[in-house]
Structure 1
Amino acid sequence: MKMISVYDSVGCILSHDVTQIIPGEFKGRLFKKGHVIKEEDIEKLLSIGKEHIYVWEPSEGELHENDAAIRISNLVLGEGVCKSKEIKEGKVDFFADIDGVLKINKDELFKLNSLGEIIVSTLHNNTPIRKGEKIGATRVIPLIIDEDKIINAEKLIKNKIIYVEKIKSKKCLLITTGNEVYNGRIKDAFLPVIKSKLGYYGSEVIKQVILPDSKEKIIKEIKNGLSENVDMIVCTGGMSVDPDDVTPTAIKECGGELVTYGSPVLPGAMFLLAYYKDTPILGVPSCAMYSKRTVLDLVLPRVLSDEKLTLEDIAAYGHGGLCLDCKICTFPHCSFGK
């Protein structure tokens, strides 16, 4: 790459984008990489302070920033992700190609960013994502990079770093427990909450059963739901450690595998997760009725994408598991669950 005077640049090809900034009015690309400079362009270049331009004369073993960014994109992008059709100022943006849960291989991402001169930036792992949402970007630092740096990255990274797990539509059985609700002393407030949170992801409550605090009756209805092949069972009410709250015991004794009773998330400490074969059973604490965001908002999209969560997955939520209950909620683009 060599520098030449703009007065001698007619007919030359720009090796990079040229940005124009008009304070308070405009910031953007004046000329695109690859633009062939014309006589009338000279005055425009001078007006933004460009008295010289850089013309790249490629040498063997060198890559332009755009070409390097494309190769990095091809290296890191997996299923459910697409990239920008146009490269601006050497940067390629990444977008979700489907509704789902963003997955980031954090170990591989760290290795790639540790090489130097190569950067990949992403949103947080396990963020629920809508199709078309921006989820990351890449570029290299120098305008011209040694190709060996890219080759080393291609040898080092063995797994895709960024992908989106598709969220599936599921049919849910809602079992609401509590003597006060069963006997009509208070109105159930769980149904609209669970319907809303499931509906946001295209799933639905196909049946609600309201039961007293009876372990045997709860077990019976869980087994009925399993025999009817529902995709998921959500149990609400009776999730504390009071002697009358028997829902956790009923879930444990229904024949499934208990993952956890308790989570390091506030609100949501009394959350329960179990599986009967591949059918998830969620015990949702009362905080879900009145808090905007709880542990349910963190776990639900992952369950709906058919990820089988482990105790380690739940334990990891302790770091970032405190909801600040902001007046204006920006979840999932906040610190909660990150």
Structure 2
Amino acid sequence: MKFGSRAAEESIGCYLAHSIKHNGLSFSKGHQLTAEDVNQLIAAGFADVTVAQVEDTDLHEDEAAALLANHACGDAVSASTPFTGRANLYATHSGVLQVDADKVTEANLIDPAITFACLPPFTEVREGRMLATAKIIPLAVDQKLAKEAAEKISAAISVAAYSPKSVAVISTTLPHLKETTITKSLRVLQERLDIAESTISADLRVPHDEAALINVLNTEQVRDADLVVVFGASAVVDQGDVIPAAIQAAGGELIHFGMPVDPGNLLVLGDLNGTPVIGAPGCARSPQENGFDWVLQRLLADISVTRRDIMSMGVGGLLKEIHSRPQPRDHPLSEDPDKTVCSGVLLAAGNSSRMGQHNKLLALIDGKPVVRHVAEHALASDLSELIVVTGAMASKVEEALSGLPIRFRHNADFDEGISSSIKKGIEGVAEQSNSALILLGDMPFISTEDINTLLKSRSVTQDQLIGVSTTQGKRGNPVLWDRAFFEDLLCLRGDIGGKPIIQQNPSVVYTVEVGEAARRDLDDPEALHSAGGILGKHSEKP
């Protein structure tokens, strides 16, 4: 490839090294110049342009990216159409990512022009998630080098697909352990199993002693299961403790106790007549990511877990401060990647705890419920649809929005925090949408114009993928999320919004100054009163 400045009249067939925008002319980086293009450039006063000339021994960046990506695809993986020298790999099934790290490294060592990045090995992935990206740095690369890299990386990326499994759950009990704790543990476990289309086939309760646990481990319900999970009423502190001892006494094998993952240190892994048995650490009762997830996910994908596997999990095993795991730029590119098709997700599920006996969303401003103001502004914008997530007082909220062309999604777990409502809304986004705007139901002063500005500013090619409303530079709401970050939003837990994802991805964040409205919510009676809000029977909680 020849690169440099040359006379405009000699640049026909070459590729622009930089974008040109001048007096109505607009050519993007990488555009192949035609004779007509060159005439327009000359007429506009461009005597010289910086271009790349692809030679016979070269591959264009898109061809090279496609070659690398297609060769890297293993089981349950497909490659996207290349764009601007980049081709992404996606999971065709939900499961656990498997990476041949040596192959990836060998391919990256061929030449600096050829790069390949992927998620960490053993990452849990949903169908459609981006797994890796092949990126060619210059506009063209020597075809021999591209072919060599493709050979090195052959089938390096694959997904061990999940298959449905039956899971027997044994909960040991002690007087201090509440029934609600066991119920929550089962619900959280089922949520973990949902992605693998697996189910809890048996819910068994026994006292927390070795003899009782041995007996239940030998029941038909346990023998018929594909996997056994034991939630102990008391933490395991030694290999001779109740759970590991019972597994062995029941005729099973203790594979390992303890793991270098925090949370998750006190996990027990055993085998009972070919069926894996996990003694769950206490943190497994929480939906937050922990070492239990790492073992469970592999077993659901039929990946064996050995003593050495567990003892090798220490690097990256400190999870205490991790709320989500943002992924690199991910966008299934269309003919016009910057065309925004955005779904609105209006969060209206909260219990208005700071409002006492009233629901702030039902307060009236100018004779209209607060939440209806938000919905009407959103519907008047360029959003492709509006999804409203309800929770507390769902029927009253739906009544306040009656007659509007919206879709409702009820969040029965709204009391678990805002992340549960975000998850419910994102799960309902239309397949054709490439982004979602998350709006709060108590922010009626966000205008239709504010929303449209956020939508228009999104740009895949300019790496503007997370749009944040601001007030004098301070972050507020609403926030636009490119589909590349949907998976990360789905991984949020508890009363945590998208702030951690924004903080960890500054390179793709753009801001839109919307004034006071971006930070003006109606969280308490004083704020509502100052906004002209009126409380009454219409807003009273039941």
Normalised-by-shorter TM-score class:
0.7 to 0.9
User: Which residue of 2 is the match for residue 112 of structure 1?
Assistant: 107
User: Which residue of 1 is the match for residue 303 of structure 2?
Assistant: 307
Query: Matched residues in 1 for 2:244 and 2:196: separation?
Result: 26
Question: Quick check: 2:13–2:32 contact (8 Å CA) kept in 1?
Answer: yes
Aligned pair 1:75/2:71, yes or no?
yes
TM-score (norm 1): 0.80
Q: 1:46 to 1:120 in 2, by over 3 A?
A: farther
Question: Quick check: 1:17–1:29 contact (8 Å CA) kept in 2?
Answer: no
Q: Could you tell me which of 44, 52, 55 is aligned with 2:49?
A: 52
Q: Could you tell me which of 243, 264, 284 is aligned with 1:247?
A: 243
Query: Matched residues in 1 for 2:43 and 2:261: separation?
Result: 56
Q: Which has the higher contact order (CA 8 A, sep 6+)?
A: 1
Q: Could you tell me which of 165, 168, 185 is aligned with 1:190?
A: 185
Q: 1:44 to 1:76 in 2, by over 3 A?
A: farther
Question: Quick check: 2:222–2:228 contact (8 Å CA) kept in 1?
Answer: no
Uncovered stretches (5+) of structure 1, i.e. residues with no partner: 23-27
Q: Could you tell me which of 157, 163, 167 is aligned with 1:162?
A: 157
Q: 1:70 to 1:213 in 2, by over 3 A?
A: same
Query: Matched residues in 1 for 2:192 and 2:150: separation?
Result: 41
Query: Matched residues in 1 for 2:301 and 2:179: separation?
Result: 37
The 3-state SS of whatever aligns with 1:180 is: coil
Aligned pair 1:262/2:258, yes or no?
yes
* Displacement of 1:319: 1.3
Query: Matched residues in 2 for 1:205 and 1:37: separation?
Result: 67
User: Which residue of 2 is the match for residue 317 of structure 1?
Assistant: 313
* Displacement of 1:300: 1.7
Shifted more, 99-108 versus 212-221: the winner is: 212-221
* Displacement of 1:68: 2.0
* Displacement of 1:261: 1.0
Aligned pair 1:127/2:109, yes or no?
no
Alignment of 1:212-227 (within 5 A): 212-225=207-220
User: Which residue of 2 is the match for residue 25 of structure 1?
Assistant: none
The 3-state SS of whatever aligns with 1:281 is: strand
Q: Deviations over 1:84-127 (max 9, x none)?
A: 22x22211122222211111111111111122232111111111
Aligned pair 1:330/2:327, yes or no?
no
Query: Matched residues in 2 for 1:225 and 1:44: separation?
Result: 83
* Displacement of 1:136: 1.3
The 3-state SS of whatever aligns with 1:293 is: coil
Task: State the AA in 2 paired with 1:218.
Answer: L
User: Which residue of 1 is the match for residue 268 of structure 2?
Assistant: 272
Aligned pair 1:231/2:226, yes or no?
yes
User: Which residue of 2 is the match for residue 6 of structure 1?
Assistant: 8
Aligned pair 1:84/2:86, yes or no?
no
Q: Could you tell me which of 177, 202, 209 is aligned with 2:172?
A: 177
Query: Matched residues in 2 for 1:96 and 1:207: separation?
Result: 31
* Displacement of 1:256: 2.8
Task: State the AA in 2 paired with 1:68.
Answer: A
Q: Deviations over 1:273-329 (max 9, x none)?
A: 122354211100222224722211222211110101111211121112122245xx2
User: Which residue of 2 is the match for residue 205 of structure 1?
Assistant: 200
The 3-state SS of whatever aligns with 1:197 is: helix
Query: Matched residues in 2 for 1:304 and 1:80: separation?
Result: 16
The 3-state SS of whatever aligns with 1:287 is: helix
The 3-state SS of whatever aligns with 2:175 is: helix
* Displacement of 1:270: 1.1
- State the superposition RMSD in angstroms: 3.4
Q: 1:50 to 1:279 in 2, by over 3 A?
A: farther
Query: Matched residues in 2 for 1:44 and 1:263: separation?
Result: 67
Q: Could you tell me which of 128, 135, 144 is aligned with 2:140?
A: 144
Q: 1:50 to 1:212 in 2, by over 3 A?
A: farther
TM-score (norm 2): 0.52
Q: 1:175 to 1:62 in 2, by over 3 A?
A: same
Task: State the AA in 2 paired with 1:6.
Answer: A
Query: Matched residues in 2 for 1:101 and 1:254: separation?
Result: 31
Query: Matched residues in 1 for 2:206 and 2:42: separation?
Result: 75
Question: Quick check: 1:94–1:135 contact (8 Å CA) kept in 2?
Answer: yes
* Displacement of 1:56: 3.4
Question: Quick check: 1:179–1:211 contact (8 Å CA) kept in 2?
Answer: no
Q: Could you tell me which of 36, 39, 43 is aligned with 1:38?
A: 36
Q: 1:113 to 1:240 in 2, by over 3 A?
A: same
Task: State the AA in 2 paired with 1:30.
Answer: S
Task: State the AA in 1 paired with 2:164.
Answer: S
Aligned residues: 320
Query: Matched residues in 2 for 1:316 and 1:289: separation?
Result: 24
Percent identity over the alignment? 25
* Displacement of 1:259: 1.9
Task: State the AA in 2 paired with 1:98.
Answer: H
The 3-state SS of whatever aligns with 2:97 is: strand
Question: Quick check: 2:168–2:222 contact (8 Å CA) kept in 1?
Answer: no
Question: Quick check: 1:239–1:248 contact (8 Å CA) kept in 2?
Answer: no
Q: Could you tell me which of 295, 302, 306 is aligned with 2:291?
A: 295
Task: State the AA in 1 paired with 2:319.
Answer: C
Query: Matched residues in 1 for 2:179 and 2:99: separation?
Result: 47
The 3-state SS of whatever aligns with 1:13 is: coil
The 3-state SS of whatever aligns with 1:317 is: coil
Q: 1:29 to 1:38 in 2, by over 3 A?
A: closer
* Displacement of 1:232: 0.8
Question: Quick check: 1:213–1:244 contact (8 Å CA) kept in 2?
Answer: no
Task: State the AA in 1 paired with 2:244.
Answer: P
* Displacement of 1:64: 2.5
Query: Matched residues in 2 for 1:44 and 1:131: separation?
Result: 49
Query: Matched residues in 1 for 2:163 and 2:78: separation?
Result: 20
The 3-state SS of whatever aligns with 1:202 is: coil
Question: Quick check: 1:292–1:325 contact (8 Å CA) kept in 2?
Answer: no
Uncovered stretches (5+) of structure 2, i.e. residues with no partner: 328-487, 489-542
